[in-house]
Amino acid sequence: MQKSLTRTIVCQLDIDEGSPRLLTQGQREARRVVNEVFRLNREGYDWDHIEDLVTDRSSHVKNTTQRLVEKAIDALERYYDEDDYGHPRQNHENEFPLRMNHGEGYALTLSDSGAVNFRITAQKRTFVRGTLQASRDQTELLQTALTDDEWRVGTAEVVWRNGRHELHINITHKTATVRSQDTSTTFIGVDVNEDNVALAAITEVGVQDSIVIEYSEIKQERHEFFTIRKRMQSVGQTAFENTMQDREKRFVHDRLHQVSRRVVEWADQFEDPVFVFEDLKDMRDSIDYGTRMNRRLHSLPFAQLQDFVTYKAAWNSIPSVKINPEYTSQECIVCGHTDRSNRKRKRFKCVSCGFQDHADRKAAVLISAKGLQELDRNVPALNNLPVVRVRRQCNGASEPPGHDPVSTVRGHQTDGDSGSVSS
Ligand SMILES: [Zn+2]
């Protein structure tokens, strides 16, 4: 079973015509439509009949109403198929997602300058127009999807997030496919940190290999950029701030692309791999923010690295799965004891059974094990780990060939607070 390669592009709306209020009203009407489907379903109407009734009364264009009915019926089907979902209830969120077909409920056009213009039909005969804003990668993808015959622009949703409207656009590659999670045999746990990414490959039989890819230069550069910007602010040179911010973004962006390419190359050596990521939704809460500086440095784009890896992996037909990140840094993989004091910086030592390891590698092993559990596989004993390899991300392409910057660290170190010592 293969899945088509689909990406969701997240865009901000730069509105020229119409107003956010119209979008909010459109979302309220979307909520009313979905609630009406739930109500009619409870009253015993069959699903085909429901669609006709609801479409007649909706002030959304027909296609948008159909997408909304579909969304409501999906929720009902999940409820009837699986016991662990509650009955879909009347929804009272004001900002209910408004789902639309491309070319109907919304339309995108590419301008000569490469900007992507949008038109959203907020309700019948009510239009909101403007320009989309997205990250460089996402904008490039969207431009490709709009011009390349291999891609199709699909449904989009108007979503309310962080106090503003966003447009989430699905684009699908017509032929590329991603292998199903169910046929995967090697689980690649990914532990993203501010100065490295740790990977562990495990199967139902045991741990195959692990590696720590370091990118401390990203942390350093970010620190430097931060200091320079602070200094400029203090002397009132705010004009340069945006330039600095762009330079920093570009730097981090390029490095993360290089790192993600290595991550996917490493995974590709194993049989039928699947990537296992921590679900970042809860992640922000688990980071111990201290000062403002800390917050600044910690805001390393975890999500962006995951995003790049997921995308590159998908092109290699490698699927991804997400797991609950709770306690991945504190839990012992040998005895299961979970304690904050198990971890001291880069060193993990279980206060209960004494097991020791490189803290980030240990987290990656636990993440892959959670991936096995997530897909109902057997989790092997995890007490026999290979040596951790540490690979430095040496300023990108500047590495001479044949000088692979890999060093090794004993998996079970007995002292030192840093597992990532090398040369
Ligand atoms: Zn233990």
Question: What pLDDT, in 10s, does the model give residues 323-339?
Answer: 988 888 899 999 999 99
Residue 17 in this model has a pLDDT that exceeds 90: yes
Provide the whole-model pTM. 0.73
Q: Give the mean pLDDT of 210-232.
A: 82
Find the 338 Cα to ligand 1 centroid distance in Å. Answer: 8
> Which is more confident, 368 or 138?
368
Please classify residue 297 by burial: count the beta carbons closer than 10 Å to its beta carbon, then call 0-12 exposed, 13-18 middle and 19+ buried: middle
Residue 422 in this model has a pLDDT that exceeds 60: no
Find the 367 Cα to ligand 1 centroid distance in Å. Answer: 16
Q: Give the mean pLDDT of 63-92.
A: 77
Residue 316 in this model has a pLDDT that exceeds 50: yes
- Calculate ∠ Cα 284-287-290, nearest 5°: 115
Q: What is the pLDDT of residue 385?
A: 83
Q: What is the pLDDT of residue 85?
A: 52
Find the 337 Cα to ligand 1 centroid distance in Å. Answer: 5
Residue 237 sits at φ, ψ, to 5 deg, of: -90, 60
Q: What is the pLDDT of residue 300?
A: 58
Find the 392 Cα to ligand 1 centroid distance in Å. Answer: 29
Find the 192 Cα to ligand 1 centroid distance in Å. Answer: 23
Find the 353 Cα to ligand 1 centroid distance in Å. Answer: 4
Poorest-pLDDT segment among 204-208, 218-222, 415-419: 415-419
Residue 48 in this model has a pLDDT that exceeds 60: yes
- For residues 25 and 122, the answer to whether their CB atoms sit within 8 Å is yes
Report which listed range, 245-254, 256-265, 304-313, 414-423, is most confident: 256-265
Find the 335 Cα to ligand 1 centroid distance in Å. Answer: 4
Find the 342 Cα to ligand 1 centroid distance in Å. Answer: 9
* Pairing of the two strands 388-392 and 406-409: antiparallel
- For residues 67 and 98, the answer to whether their CB atoms sit within 8 Å is no
Report which listed range, 94-103, 148-157, 222-231, is most confident: 148-157
Find the 64 Cα to ligand 1 centroid distance in Å. Answer: 54
Find the 375 Cα to ligand 1 centroid distance in Å. Answer: 25
Residue 195 in this model has a pLDDT that exceeds 60: yes
Percent of the chain with pLDDT over 70: 83
Integer angstrom CA distances of residue 142 from 151, 171, 342, 415: 10, 8, 45, 50
Q: What is the pLDDT of residue 289?
A: 40
Find the 331 Cα to ligand 1 centroid distance in Å. Answer: 8
Find the 259 Cα to ligand 1 centroid distance in Å. Answer: 31
Poorest-pLDDT segment among 23-37, 132-146, 296-310, 363-377: 296-310
Find the 222 Cα to ligand 1 centroid distance in Å. Answer: 36
> Which of these, 291, 305, 222, 208, lies nearest to 256 by C-alpha position?
305
Find the 383 Cα to ligand 1 centroid distance in Å. Answer: 10
- Residue 138 and residue 315: Cα distance in Å, rounded? 16
What is the amino acid identity at position 413? Q
Find the 387 Cα to ligand 1 centroid distance in Å. Answer: 19
Find the 198 Cα to ligand 1 centroid distance in Å. Answer: 20
Q: What is the pLDDT of residue 11?
A: 96
> Which of these, 56, 81, 51, lies nearest to 66 by C-alpha position?
51
- For residues 216 and 394, the answer to whether their CB atoms sit within 8 Å is no
> Which is more confident, 360 or 400?
360
Q: Give the mean pLDDT of 276-292.
A: 58
Q: What is the pLDDT of residue 281?
A: 57
- Residue 271 and residue 378: Cα distance in Å, rounded? 17
Percent of the chain with pLDDT over 90: 54
Helix ranges, 321-376 (H): 359-374
Mean pLDDT, the chain, as a whole number?
Answer: 84
